[in-house]
Amino acid sequence: TKTIREVLQEVIPQKQAQLQELKAKHSQASLGDVKVENVIGGMRGLKAMLWDASVLDPIEGIRFHGLSIPDCQKQLTPAPGGKEIIAESMLWLLLTGRVPTEAETRQLSREFAEKGDLPKHVEQLIDSLPKTLHPMTQLGMGVAALNHDSQFAAAYERGIKKSEYWTHTLEDCINLIARLPALAARIYRNVYKPGTPIAGINKDLDLVGNYVNMLGYGHNHDLTEYLRLYIAIHGDHEGGNASAHTAHLVGSTLSDPYLSYAAALFALAGPLHGLANQEVLRWQMNMQKEIGDKITHENIKEFLWKTLKSGQVVPGYGHGVLRNPDPRFIALQEFCSTRPELLADPVIQLVKQTYEVAPGVLKEHGKTKNPYPNVDAASGCVLYHYGLTEFKYYTVIFGVSRALGALTQLVWARALNLPLERPKSLSIDAIKQIVEKQ
């Protein structure tokens, strides 16, 4: 059994050589034109970032080192007594490009459990915050404050060689992932279950098993399994999405992984990105309130048009890259399809029926390039069913998950010695001058 550090020691020189070869042979090859529409259109479609762990195909959806979600469900080790992918095996795949053995997965679970306690100053910081402060703001603040113990920042201050950057970055990333459950659970308990004790970390449990335990739902095996799947499949979605890209940009200044990931969390906290899962549930509950028990396709259609006509977006639908139903949405739906108690839940029914109607309405509306559901359309309703009804908290769970991909890439950015990110911007006048000459 190898440690994740040993595997990376093997893999990194190979990737460094690949990148050197690419640089030497193809530096001047074109990957496409930069059009004015790219510059004024949020850089959509511009191939401008190196991101190795996952690639998003508009039709097929996400693949992690070439593996689709169903491939991962077959190949990655679940928790003892479970079936779903766990964070440890997904992180191992993302970081190393290899499928870990069961022993390797368990070893990583144990390391996370051993490193999972929060420092006192972070506990005090979180406990001092007003309960009315949004849980995502609290999460970002807590992650930023963890940089007190950054090994990368300390090593940089001591003076280290560039070739050593990745090793210290990796230690920070592992420590941060290990501590996220205790931090995220403390926020939940403080805001929604004040004055009740939080469970300690169980060294025999996986990362998400401990997270669910600390949230106070450890008795619920199905919710634990759901969150294992949820956290594994939200882990990475290539590099250009706002949270991953933010971590990459901030990390490129050699800001440590805690500060880089705190920045990413504040990007995730926007309603067009991670906050959409909170918004979906709020919107579906409003729909339910308005149409009452008589849920028909006609009623749902009417509510959809009302949302669109009032100038709002339909949360959980559309995507910057995808042009098909999101395979993450499908995986979460399949989780429900094998559990009759979930299928019978009115909120889950409503989400399912909305999926039957919304693509047609969005096509007729004619604006969005992708009328299909993204992952957020399904993720919240199952949490709601299992009693985790505080939907302002949902994006925090996404925030625990996205660390897997964003932090993987920070390790690789340092291992490959990627430079400070600094794209060129242009003013409207400068663009006009260029295009008028053509």
274 binds ligand FAM (CB under 6 A): yes
Instruction: Give, in order, the Cα–Cα distances in Å from 89 to each of 27, 31, 167.
Output: 34, 33, 20
402 binds ligand FAM (CB under 6 A): no
Q: C-beta of 242: minimal distance to ligand FAM in Å?
A: 7
8 A C-beta contact, residue 260 and residue 408? no
171 binds ligand FAM (CB under 6 A): no
138 binds ligand FAM (CB under 6 A): no
303 binds ligand FAM (CB under 6 A): no
Any catalytic annotation for residue 365? no
Task: Give the residue with the Cβ less far from ligand FAM, 100 or 316.
Answer: 316
228 Cβ partners below 8 Å, 6+ apart? 78, 79, 82, 84, 85, 86, 87, 206, 208, 209
Select from 120-128, 208-216, 370-378, 402-410 the region that touches ligand FAM (CB under 6 A).
Answer: 370-378
DSSP-derived letter for residue 234 is T
Select from 25-33, 53-61, 140-148, 272-280 the region that touches ligand FAM (CB under 6 A).
Answer: 272-280
Token readout for 424 is 């060129």
Site for ligand FAM in 191-210 (CB under 6 A): none
User: In a 10 Å sphere around its CB, with 0-12 CB exposed, 13-18 middle and 19+ buried, how is residue 356 labelled?
Assistant: exposed
- Among residues 109, 224, 333, 370, which is the contact residue for ligand FAM, using CB under 6 A? 370
257 binds ligand FAM (CB under 6 A): no
Question: Where would I find the H helices in 97-164?
Answer: 102-114, 120-128, 135-145, 151-158
| CA nearest to 406, candidates 218, 222, 284, 268 | 268
316 binds ligand FAM (CB under 6 A): yes
Q: How many residues sit in the footprint of ligand FAM (CB under 6 A)?
A: 21
Number of helices followed by number of strands (H, E) in the chain = 21, 2
- Among residues 63, 168, 179, 319, which is the contact residue for ligand FAM, using CB under 6 A? 319
Catalytic residue among 168, 237, 319, 385: 319
273 binds ligand FAM (CB under 6 A): yes
8 A C-beta contact, residue 53 and residue 408? yes
β-partners of residue 54 are: 64
Any catalytic annotation for residue 248? no
61 binds ligand FAM (CB under 6 A): no
Task: Give the residue with the Cβ less far from ligand FAM, 92 or 261.
Answer: 261
Three-state secondary-structure class, residue 57: strand
Catalytic residue among 172, 256, 326, 376: 376
Site for ligand FAM in 31-60 (CB under 6 A): 44
- Among residues 209, 318, 325, 327, which is the contact residue for ligand FAM, using CB under 6 A? 318
Any catalytic annotation for residue 26? no
297 Cβ partners below 8 Å, 6+ apart? 353, 356, 357
The one-letter code for the residue type at 7 is V
- Among residues 369, 417, 431, 434, which is the contact residue for ligand FAM, using CB under 6 A? 369
- Among residues 199, 313, 416, 418, which is the contact residue for ligand FAM, using CB under 6 A? 313
The DSSP line for 148-168 is GG-HHHHHHHH---GGGHHHH
376 binds ligand FAM (CB under 6 A): yes
Query: Residues 383, 384, 389, CA angle at the centre, nearest 5°?
Result: 110
8 A C-beta contact, residue 188 and residue 215? yes
Task: Give the residue with the Cβ less far from ligand FAM, 97 or 325.
Answer: 325
Q: Which residue is at the shortest CB distance from ligand FAM?
A: 318
Q: C-beta of 125: minimal distance to ligand FAM in Å?
A: 27
Q: C-beta of 111: minimal distance to ligand FAM in Å?
A: 29
What b/e readout covers 45-60, taking b as 16+ CB neighbours within 10 angstroms? bbeebebbbbbbeeee
Task: Give the residue with the Cβ less far from ligand FAM, 97 or 320.
Answer: 320
284 binds ligand FAM (CB under 6 A): no
| CA nearest to 327, candidates 372, 361, 283 | 372
Catalytic residue among 168, 234, 248, 273: 273
CA dist 354 and 348 (Å) reads 10
DSSP-derived letter for residue 373 is B
399 binds ligand FAM (CB under 6 A): no
405 binds ligand FAM (CB under 6 A): no
Q: Which residues are known to be catalytic?
A: 273, 319, 376
Query: Which residues of the chain form contacts with ligand FAM (CB under 6 A)?
Result: 44, 272-274, 276, 308, 313-320, 367-370, 374-376
